[in-house]
Structures are given as structure tokens and as C-alpha cells.
Amino acid sequence: QSVLTQPPSASGTPGQRVTISCSGSSSNIGINVVDWYQQLPGTAPKLLIYSNNQRPSGVPDRFSGSKSGTSASLAISGLQSEDEADYYCAVWDDSLNGWVFGGGTKLTVL
Amino acid sequence: EVQLVESGGGLVKPGGSLRLSCAASGFTFRTYTMNWVRQAPGKGLEWVSSISSNSAYIYYADSLKGRFTISRDNAKNSLYLQMNSLRAEDTAVYYCARDPATPQPEYFDYWGQGALVTVSS
């Protein structure tokens, strides 16, 4: 199992707001910044959010991130069909001296 | 345009070896930390290894137990992953990914398209 815990699935209807959680510990999320990746079917992952809440150029402002203590969240507002993908949180772990990923959350747009 | 292109994947028998390469272009390769991340079929992402810009800092996932070696050639703008004693559970798509790491690990801002490694008899 993954060091970071994400719900395996999430869903919403077009236009809705959904959130995906990512739970870690004091050696990772508690002391380092969290990144989020979106992986569309059959493609490589894409950076969605970095440094807890920063969006790379080109990422719509419908996507936002936050962090509190040893947990982080990704929020998607105004859900669209093209948002259907797998979402992963990631953070550097100071105890493991390596990156750790969440198990991934499959988002379904109903 | 930043491009990362993996090569060297394929079918290998258990216990065998394989060397992956990642050719980088469109950016100053020698100034970035580089990583390998893998994804087993139908599974999530798993970080494999990281190498700093000047190869001074190298890290591996504990699960690899010394079987993999990461390296880079800044003169050739290339990243490598030597994989030995391969097991069925190493079957995965292997991605190379760039990290600005200024100097702490930051994020993976660019990814290659991936190279499939299949370990099977």
C-alpha cells in the first residue's frame, strides 16, 4: 500500500465541485509541499498543481489545491467530461529520502 | 519545446537485465534533477530513482534493493536506468521526468511518453 492515502474513486456530474483528499504523515506532507498529477487514459501524467496550491501555466483555475497539517486536497469546480482521469498526489518524504505517491483516485464524470 | 523520449524497453526474462535511456531536448539538461517513475499495468505511479544535476545526489526507492542504477551523461543530454535481476513485478511503463529541484525536490513538470518493460519467461 501507498504511503499517501487517497480514495480510490470519486464522481460528480457536470458543473459540480468535487474534492480528492490525500493523507500523509509528519515526514512527508507535514513538512513538504504537495503536488498533484492528472493522468488521462493512455497518456503520461501531467503536472496539475505544485507547491500545494500553484497552477502551472495552462491549467484552468477550476483546479485548486490546499494543504493542512498532514493532509492535502485537490478541488475541481465546474466539473467537465474531459476531467475524467486518474489523479495522484505526490510529496517528498524526508524519512524515506524519496518521492511518495498516493494510490490514485479515478474520477468519473457521470 | 521540452521533450523527453524514453527508449530501450522490451521483453526480458526473469533474472535478466535491461538499460533504459531518456533523451532530453529543448532545455538545459545539465541544470535539472531527473527521475524515473514507473507504473505497473492497471496500477498507480511509483517513484523509482532520482539523480541531481551533477550526479552528486542519487536516491532510490527502498523496494529496488540495489538492483537498479540511475546515471546521466550531461554531454549527451541523456538519462539512463540500468535494471538488473529483473522480476515479474518490475513489469511496468517507465517514465523519465524532469524536476526543477531548486535545490530541494520540487515537482515533475515534464514527463516522457514512457517505455514498456515486460519481464516474463
Per-residue pLDDT of chain A (110 residues; tens, 9 = 90+): 889 999 999 999 999 999 999 999 999 999 999 999 999 999 999 999 999 999 999 999 999 999 999 999 999 999 999 999 999 999 999 999 999 999 999 999 99
- For B61-115, the pLDDT digits (tens) are 999 979 999 999 999 999 999 999 999 999 999 999 999 887 788 999 999 999 9
CA distances from B35 to B12, B14, B107, B118 (A): 22, 24, 10, 20
> Positive or negative, the Cα torsion across A27, B102, B92, A47?
positive
B44 touches chain A (CB under 8 A): yes
- Minimal Cα–Cα distance from A102 to chain B, Å? 8
A102:B95 CB<8 A: no
* Cβ pair A56:B109 closer than 8 A: yes
Reported as a pLDDT band with limits 50, 70 and 90, residue B31 is: very high
* C-alpha distance from A7 to closest chain B C-alpha (Å): 13
Chain A nearest C-alpha distance from B80 (Å): 18
- Shortest CB distance from A2 goes to which of B35, B44, B61? B44
Average pLDDT over residues B27-51: 97
How is the beta sheet containing A18-23 ordered, strand by strand? A18-23, A71-76, A63-68
Mutate to test the interface with A, among B45, B63, B102 (most CBs of A within 10 A): B45
pLDDT at B105: 87
Asked whether the beta carbons of residue A88 and residue B44 sit closer than 8 angstroms, the reply is yes
Radius of gyration for the alpha carbons in chain A, expressed in angstroms and rounded: 13
Q: Does B120 touch chain A (CB under 8 A)?
A: no
Q: Among A47, A96, A97, select the one facing B108 at the smallest CB separation.
A: A47
Rounded distance between C-alpha atoms, residue B66 and residue A51, angstroms: 31
Q: List the 44-83 stretch of A: residues with Cβ below 8 A of B.
A: 44-47, 50-51, 56
Q: What does the pLDDT read at residue B65?
A: 77
Provide the pLDDT for residue A1.
Answer: 80
